[in-house]
Structure 1
Amino acid sequence: MTLYHFTILIRDANPSMEQLEDRLFEAGCDDALICFNNQTVYLEFDREATVAKEAVKSAMENIQSAGFYDLVLQESGVSSLAEIAHRTGLTRAAVSNYALGKRAMGFPKPLYGVASGSPLYSWREVANWLYANKKLSKAQFEIANIGW
Structure 2
Amino acid sequence: MMETYEFTVIATGLDPQDEAFEAKFYDAGCDDALVSFQKGHILVDFCREAESLEEAIGSAVDNCRTAGAVVERVEPDPLVSLSEIAARSDMSRAAMTNYFKGHRSEGFPAPRARVTTASPLWDWSDVSLWLYKHDKISKEIAIGAAVVSVANDILECDGRDFRTSLHERVREKVAAF
Q: Give the alignment's TM-score, normalised by structure 1.
A: 0.75
Q: 3-state DSSP class of the match of 1:25?
A: helix
| CA positional deviation for 1:49 | 1.5
Q: 3-state DSSP class of the match of 2:70?
A: coil
Considering only aligned residues, what root-mean-square deviation do their CA atoms show, in Å?
Answer: 2.9
Consecutive unaligned residues of structure 1, counting only runs of 5 or more, are none
Higher RCO by CA contacts (8 Å cutoff, separation 6 or greater):
1
- Paired residues, number: 148
Structure 2 residue identity aligned to 1:30: D
Greater C-alpha Rg: 2
Structure 2 residue identity aligned to 1:34: V
CA separation in 2, counterparts of 1:42 and 1:5? 13
1:78 corresponding residue in structure 2? 79
1:128 corresponding residue in structure 2? 129
Identity %: 38
CA separation in 2, counterparts of 1:71 and 1:17? 20
Mapped contact 1:14–1:40 kept (Cα < 8 A): no
Mapped contact 1:3–1:139 kept (Cα < 8 A): no
Mapped contact 1:98–1:104 kept (Cα < 8 A): yes
1:46 corresponding residue in structure 2? 47
| CA positional deviation for 1:34 | 3.3
Change over 3 Å in CA distance of 1:45–1:14 after alignment to 2: same
Q: 3-state DSSP class of the match of 1:112?
A: coil
Consecutive unaligned residues of structure 2, counting only runs of 5 or more, are 152-177
1:29 corresponding residue in structure 2? 30
CA separation in 2, counterparts of 1:94 and 1:16? 46
Greater share of helix: 2
Change over 3 Å in CA distance of 1:6–1:96 after alignment to 2: farther
Q: Give the alignment's TM-score, normalised by structure 2.
A: 0.65
| CA positional deviation for 1:135 | 4.1
| CA positional deviation for 1:126 | 1.4
Q: 3-state DSSP class of the match of 2:127?
A: helix
